[in-house]
Every structure is written in structure tokens, then in C-alpha cells.
Amino acid sequence: MPVRVAVNGFGTIGKRVADAVARQPDMQLVGVAKTRPSFEARLAVEKGYPLFVGGEGRLEAFRAAGLAVEGTADDMLARADVVVDATPERVGREHGAKYAKAHLKAIYQGGEKPEVAELSFSALANYDAARGKSRVRVVSCNTTGLVRAASVLRSRYGVEHWEATLIRRAADPTEVHKGPVNAILPTFDFPSHHTPDAQTIYPDLSLTPTAGVGPTTLMHLHVNHGRLQRPPASTAEVLAAFRATPRFQIFQSWEHVEGTPQVLESARDRATPRGDVMSNVLWEDGLHLQGADLHFFQAIHQESIVVPENIDAIRAMFDLAPDSATSIARTDVALGIRK
Ligand code: NAD
């Protein structure tokens, strides 16, 4: 029997997670909930996803728009084994009591505080710890990127200390009311909230991130300097380690990928769903080793990087795979991340 999955909140993350669930042979998408009619609600109907009215939404508004809805979010939850809450940050936590009352397992996103769940999750790092859990939180896009890279470096070389400068995208492409349009804004929280967030997964990770916001909607860019405990032999060795790990994509010099626009253009050329990039993106030219000091850039596609993590979280919570590698491989093949 496939695990029955409901997606509450059908925005940037929710619509991608719904598509990803629909592609998994061991999962069934029982519905998506939206608060109001929109082009995205219409898309759900066109894709054949059962559509429900979430939050304070009104059934009449959907009916007036000619969109067939099957009921309220409560009706959707009654059909599910697990709900992926992809509502805006701080809204998800308000749904906890409702999910518990419906005896549902729940996955929350990185906009919620860690306390909303029993465990913060990133598949390469702590898949086994999520087995059988009822409430799991997938960490935010930037933290997912940092923790994935930490998974590669910690296991092979140990991380003495890591300084990361995060150049964050100002808004998602559809967030037309957000800026800045013509500014780079330093974030004065020090260290940024990514340290405690990454430490929900690796408590002993010595990480000092500083962050700023740039006038772009495409991707985040991390500028990393890690001091390793056991120095690698060469940059080639480190690149091979990243290449051997799922969810890393490394561009070579001759590909002429100068920055985030070409990363996304290459995804569009490959016709990945929505032009999404669910892997951490590194550049060969951007990775340098000086003794124990590793410098590397990585780009993170904020709209999609957490999508495969939500799928693996479901598999872990229902013990659908023998180990993390099997789950990650199943997810990635189903999503076209790997052949
Ligand atoms: P979003 O605003 O794009 O989508 C949220 C959707 O939920 C909207 O369609 C909204 O109408 C709907 N909604 C609001 N209240 C609701 C309710 N009570 N019931 C049902 N639906 C409701 O937000 P998003 O960017 O998808 O973010 C969702 C979560 O994912 C947040 O926790 C966020 O921090 C996290 N996240 C976002 C990104 C990103 O870059 N967009 C990356 C990683 C994690």
C-alpha cells in the first residue's frame, strides 16, 4: 500500500513537493490544499490533483471560479497518512494540534522553528534518525545546502571550522512585492541563524555564516572557507568526493557557466521540471585547496532544493527503504536528478 500524502499549502514549495510525491511509486498524493483560487489552484485541477480549501479559504470562491474542490483541508487530512505542511513560515506550527487530532504524521518546512518537530532533517546527514518519527522538519534551503556539503566534508576530512558567506536571493521570482531592487543589504545578525539551524543536525559543527541579501531572484550563492582536520591530498580528490555524492552537480571550466543565470539556463535546457535545480551546484574553477584550507562556491536553488528532502523524510518516517542511500536513489531517479 502506498503511503497517502496530503500537501497543505500549494505555493512555491508545496506545488513542487506535490509533483514529487505524484512521481513516487511508494506514495499516493491524496490532495493539495489552497486558500484561494489562482493559477496554481487551476494547475492542481488540470494535473488531476484532488483540490481542497485550506486555512480561511471559502468554498464559494473556488466554485465561483469554476474550480472543482473536494472539500476542506480537514476532509483532505482524513484521507492521508502524512501531511506535508508547506504553508508560509509561522503558519505551519498553528496546524500542529489539528494534525495530531487527525492522528497524522506531519512534515514541516524550514520557516518553522525546530521545536515544531521531533527532528530537523537532511537526508544525507540523519536519515536513520527520522525512521518512525511522527513530526519532522526539513531544514531551510540554505541550511540544506550547508548540511549537504558538511556531510561530504565531515565524513572524509573532519571540519575544524567553517566560515560561509551567504549571498541570499532577495525574493522568489513570483514575490513581486519584495525587494531590494537596487541594493545589497548586509544582515547584521551574527552569526546568522544558519548556525543554530545547521546544529540541529550536526550539533558539533563549528560554522560561522555571515549573510547578505542581493537583488536577484535566481539562486543563493555560498562562499565557503572550511578548515579541515585531515587535509585532502588534492583538489581533484575533494571534487571526486563531491561528485561521488548524490545531489551535487559540478560544472567544469569548459562549460562556461559563469554564474547562477547559466546554472538555471542549463536546467531549462535539460527540461527539468520548472527548470529546477535540486542539487548543490559547485564549480571546478571555484574550488581551491591550500593545505587544510578548502575554499569553494556553491549555488543553491531555493525554490527546489528541499523537495527531494521532503520525499526522503516521508520514506524514513514510514520505513519504506532499507537505508538512506536506497531512499535517495529512488527519489532522485523518480525526480530525474539522476539517471
Ligand atoms: P509560499 O507563500 O510560496 O506558499 C505558501 C502557500 O500556502 C500559499 O499558496 C498560501 O496561499 C498557502 N497558505 C497560507 N495559509 C494557509 C493555510 N492556513 N492553509 C493552507 N494553505 C495556506 O511559501 P513557500 O515559499 O512555499 O514557503 C513555504 C515554507 O517553505 C516556509 O516555511 C518557507 O520558509 C519554507 N521554504 C521556502 C523556500 C523558498 O525559497 N521559497 C525554501 C525553503 C523552505
Tell me how far apart the alpha carbons of residues 253 and 251 are, in angstroms, rounded to a whole number. Answer: 7
Judge whether 102 and 77 are in contact, CB under 8 Å: yes
Q: Which residues are catalytic?
A: 141
Residues with CB under 6 A from ligand 1: 8-14, 33-35, 54-55, 86-89, 91, 109-112, 140-141, 172, 302-303, 306
Of 34, 33, 41, 31, the C-alpha closest to 65 is 41
**Cα–Cα separations (whole angstroms), residue 321 to 2, 83, 126, 131, 330:** 13, 19, 14, 10, 9
Minimum CA distance residue for ligand 1 atom 11: 35
Tens of pLDDT along the chain (339 residues) come to: 999 999 999 999 999 999 999 999 999 999 999 999 999 999 999 999 999 999 999 999 999 999 999 999 999 999 999 999 999 999 999 999 999 999 999 999 999 999 999 999 999 999 999 999 999 999 999 999 999 999 999 999 999 999 999 999 999 999 999 999 999 999 999 999 999 999 999 999 999 999 999 999 999 999 999 999 999 999 999 999 999 999 999 999 999 999 999 999 999 999 999 999 999 999 999 999 999 999 999 999 999 999 999 999 999 999 999 999 999 999 999 999 998
Minimum CA distance residue for ligand 1 atom 9: 11
Nearest atom in ligand 1 to the alpha carbon of residue 138 is 44
Element (H, E) at 16: helix 12-22
What does the DSSP assignment read for 173-226? TT-TT---SS--EE---SS-THHHHHHTT-TT--EEEEEEEES-SS-EEEEEEE
